[in-house]
């Protein structure tokens, strides 16, 4: 999944840092990039949060519940054996 906090702004125009917590133990420490990607490895419901901090230390946090379902069983493609016919050299 991709978390995007790029719509965050500071009224005084201060620089912002972003810390992401995906609720499954995976975190991205404060960084200047407002976008983080993450792949969940198990099914479940997780509370993903982003905390935005300005240079004065003021923070704001947003949270979103993410539900990951187990993959459904699918079909496995099998390759059929390839039968080749011997090629004859062209006659001249």
The secondary element (H helix, E strand) that includes residue 66 is strand 59-68
Look up residue 87 and give its two tokens. Answer: 């090629």
Position 90 scores a pLDDT of: 63
Give the rounded percent of residues in the chain with a pLDDT score beyond 90.
70
Distances 49 to 23, 74, 79, 80, 83 between C-alpha atoms, Å: 7, 32, 45, 48, 56
Question: 2-68: which CATH architecture?
Answer: Sandwich (2.60)
pLDDT score of 84 more than 90: no
> Mind listing the pLDDT tens digit for each residue in 5-35?
999 999 999 999 999 999 999 999 888 999 9
Quickly count: other Cβ atoms within 10 Å of residue 3's Cβ: 20
């Amino acid at each position: 999944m991709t978390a995007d906090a790029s719509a965050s702004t500071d009224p005084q125009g201060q620089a912002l840092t972003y810390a992401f917590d995906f609720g499954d133990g995976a975190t991205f420490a404060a960084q200047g990039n407002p976008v983080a990607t993450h792949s969940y490895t198990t099914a479940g419901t997780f509370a993903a949060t982003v905390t935005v901090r300005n240079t004065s230390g003021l923070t704001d946090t947003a949270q979103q519940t993410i539900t990951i379902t187990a993959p459904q069983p699918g079909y496995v493609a099998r390759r059929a054996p390839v039968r080749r016919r011997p090629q004859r050299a062209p006659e001249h």
